[in-house]
Structure 1
Amino acid sequence: MDNRIRKILTLFRGRILGASLGVTFALMLIIFGFWQTVFILVCGVIGYYLGARFDSDEDFRGFLERVLPPVD
Protein backbone atom coordinates (compact mmCIF):
# COMPACT_ATOMS: atom_id res chain seq x y z
CA MET A 1 0.00 0.00 0.00
CA ASP A 2 2.72 2.48 1.01
CA ASN A 3 4.76 1.67 -2.11
CA ARG A 4 1.77 2.38 -4.40
CA ILE A 5 1.14 5.76 -2.79
CA ARG A 6 4.82 6.68 -3.08
CA LYS A 7 4.82 5.62 -6.75
CA ILE A 8 1.72 7.74 -7.48
CA LEU A 9 3.21 10.75 -5.67
CA THR A 10 6.45 10.39 -7.62
CA LEU A 11 4.70 9.88 -10.95
CA PHE A 12 2.26 12.79 -10.59
CA ARG A 13 4.42 15.13 -8.49
CA GLY A 14 3.92 18.16 -10.76
CA ARG A 15 0.16 17.73 -11.02
CA ILE A 16 -0.23 17.29 -7.27
CA LEU A 17 1.95 20.32 -6.55
CA GLY A 18 0.10 22.45 -9.11
CA ALA A 19 -3.32 21.47 -7.80
CA SER A 20 -2.23 22.12 -4.21
CA LEU A 21 -0.87 25.55 -5.09
CA GLY A 22 -4.03 26.38 -7.04
CA VAL A 23 -6.32 25.42 -4.18
CA THR A 24 -4.14 27.31 -1.69
CA PHE A 25 -4.18 30.42 -3.89
CA ALA A 26 -7.96 30.22 -4.32
CA LEU A 27 -8.50 29.88 -0.56
CA MET A 28 -6.21 32.84 0.08
CA LEU A 29 -8.22 34.92 -2.40
CA ILE A 30 -11.48 33.99 -0.70
CA ILE A 31 -10.20 34.55 2.84
CA PHE A 32 -7.94 37.60 2.42
CA GLY A 33 -8.93 39.26 -0.86
CA PHE A 34 -6.83 40.02 -3.92
CA TRP A 35 -4.39 42.69 -2.69
CA GLN A 36 -3.66 41.03 0.63
CA THR A 37 -3.00 37.77 -1.20
CA VAL A 38 -0.64 39.55 -3.60
CA PHE A 39 1.15 41.13 -0.62
CA ILE A 40 1.53 37.74 1.10
CA LEU A 41 2.88 36.17 -2.09
CA VAL A 42 5.35 39.03 -2.67
CA CYS A 43 6.60 38.72 0.92
CA GLY A 44 6.99 34.98 0.42
CA VAL A 45 8.99 35.46 -2.78
CA ILE A 46 11.25 38.03 -1.10
CA GLY A 47 11.76 35.69 1.85
CA TYR A 48 12.59 32.82 -0.48
CA TYR A 49 15.09 34.97 -2.39
CA LEU A 50 16.82 36.16 0.78
CA GLY A 51 16.91 32.63 2.18
CA ALA A 52 18.43 31.30 -1.03
CA ARG A 53 21.10 34.03 -0.94
CA PHE A 54 22.01 33.20 2.66
CA ASP A 55 22.09 29.47 1.89
CA SER A 56 24.68 30.17 -0.79
CA ASP A 57 26.99 31.49 1.99
CA GLU A 58 26.80 35.11 0.93
CA ASP A 59 27.80 37.55 3.64
CA PHE A 60 24.81 39.51 4.95
CA ARG A 61 26.75 42.78 5.21
CA GLY A 62 28.05 42.39 1.65
CA PHE A 63 24.52 41.74 0.44
CA LEU A 64 23.19 44.86 2.16
CA GLU A 65 26.02 47.02 0.82
CA ARG A 66 25.32 45.79 -2.69
CA VAL A 67 21.56 46.35 -2.42
CA LEU A 68 21.75 49.58 -0.37
CA PRO A 69 25.02 51.32 -1.30
CA PRO A 70 26.52 53.65 1.31
CA VAL A 71 25.57 57.31 1.02
CA ASP A 72 28.46 59.79 0.82
Structure 2
Amino acid sequence: MWNHIKDFLQRANLRTLGMLTGAILGVLYLIVGFWKSIVFAGFIVAGYLVGRWLDSQEDWRDVVERLIPNKTRD
Protein backbone atom coordinates (compact mmCIF):
# COMPACT_ATOMS: atom_id res chain seq x y z
CA MET A 1 0.00 0.00 0.00
CA TRP A 2 2.78 2.47 0.89
CA ASN A 3 4.49 1.71 -2.40
CA HIS A 4 1.31 2.66 -4.28
CA ILE A 5 1.09 5.94 -2.36
CA LYS A 6 4.78 6.63 -2.98
CA ASP A 7 4.39 5.93 -6.71
CA PHE A 8 1.32 8.19 -6.89
CA LEU A 9 3.13 11.06 -5.15
CA GLN A 10 6.11 10.74 -7.48
CA ARG A 11 3.92 10.79 -10.61
CA ALA A 12 1.40 13.42 -9.49
CA ASN A 13 1.81 17.03 -10.47
CA LEU A 14 1.66 19.86 -7.95
CA ARG A 15 -1.95 20.77 -8.80
CA THR A 16 -3.09 17.28 -7.92
CA LEU A 17 -1.14 17.27 -4.66
CA GLY A 18 -2.50 20.72 -3.80
CA MET A 19 -6.04 19.57 -4.47
CA LEU A 20 -5.55 16.46 -2.35
CA THR A 21 -4.07 18.54 0.48
CA GLY A 22 -6.97 20.97 0.26
CA ALA A 23 -9.49 18.13 0.41
CA ILE A 24 -7.83 16.63 3.48
CA LEU A 25 -7.69 20.02 5.22
CA GLY A 26 -11.32 20.68 4.27
CA VAL A 27 -12.48 17.41 5.80
CA LEU A 28 -10.39 18.12 8.89
CA TYR A 29 -12.02 21.56 9.17
CA LEU A 30 -15.49 20.07 8.90
CA ILE A 31 -14.78 17.41 11.53
CA VAL A 32 -12.87 19.28 14.24
CA GLY A 33 -13.23 22.99 13.45
CA PHE A 34 -11.05 25.83 12.23
CA TRP A 35 -8.77 26.54 15.19
CA LYS A 36 -8.06 22.91 15.98
CA SER A 37 -7.16 22.43 12.33
CA ILE A 38 -4.78 25.40 12.47
CA VAL A 39 -3.11 24.03 15.61
CA PHE A 40 -2.82 20.60 13.96
CA ALA A 41 -1.21 22.14 10.87
CA GLY A 42 1.18 24.04 13.15
CA PHE A 43 2.28 20.80 14.78
CA ILE A 44 2.89 19.28 11.37
CA VAL A 45 5.04 22.25 10.31
CA ALA A 46 6.94 22.17 13.62
CA GLY A 47 7.57 18.44 13.22
CA TYR A 48 8.83 18.97 9.69
CA LEU A 49 11.20 21.73 10.83
CA VAL A 50 12.55 19.66 13.72
CA GLY A 51 13.05 16.68 11.41
CA ARG A 52 14.82 18.81 8.84
CA TRP A 53 17.04 20.25 11.57
CA LEU A 54 17.88 16.76 12.85
CA ASP A 55 18.60 15.53 9.32
CA SER A 56 21.03 18.35 8.69
CA GLN A 57 23.01 17.47 11.84
CA GLU A 58 23.30 21.17 12.59
CA ASP A 59 24.38 22.11 16.10
CA TRP A 60 21.70 23.98 18.07
CA ARG A 61 24.26 26.62 19.03
CA ASP A 62 24.73 27.47 15.35
CA VAL A 63 20.98 27.87 14.94
CA VAL A 64 20.76 30.18 17.96
CA GLU A 65 23.76 32.18 16.74
CA ARG A 66 22.14 32.60 13.33
CA LEU A 67 18.82 33.70 14.88
CA ILE A 68 20.40 35.92 17.56
CA PRO A 69 23.76 37.14 16.30
CA ASN A 70 26.40 38.06 18.83
CA LYS A 71 26.48 41.85 18.90
CA THR A 72 29.92 42.71 20.21
CA ARG A 73 31.05 46.32 20.23
CA ASP A 74 34.60 47.26 19.31
- Deviating 4+ runs (over 4 angstroms): none
Match of 2:3 in 1: none
Instruction: Report the alpha carbon displacement of residue 59 of structure 1 after superposing the two structures with TM.
Output: 3.5
Instruction: Report the alpha carbon displacement of residue 16 of structure 1 after superposing the two structures with TM.
Output: 1.3
Aligned-pair identity (%): 28
Do residues 35 (structure 1) and 31 (structure 2) align? no
Instruction: Report the alpha carbon displacement of residue 63 of structure 1 after superposing the two structures with TM.
Output: 6.7
**Distance in 1 (alpha carbons) for counterparts of 2:62 and 2:36:** 28
Instruction: Report the alpha carbon displacement of residue 32 of structure 1 after superposing the two structures with TM.
Output: 0.7
* Structure 1 unaligned residues grouped into runs of 5+: 1-5, 68-72
Normalised TM-score (structure 2): 0.64
Match of 1:25 in 2: 25
Post-superposition Cα deviations, 1:17-70, rounded to whole Å, max 9, x if no partner, equal 01100100100100110000000000110110010010001245x478x38xxx
* Structure 2 unaligned residues grouped into runs of 5+: 1-6, 68-74
Question: Aligned-pair RMSD on alpha carbons?
Answer: 2.3
**Distance in 2 (alpha carbons) for counterparts of 1:46 and 1:52:** 10
Normalised TM-score (structure 1): 0.65
User: 1:1-72, aligned counterparts within 5 Å?
Assistant: 10=11, 12-59=12-59, 62=61, 66=64
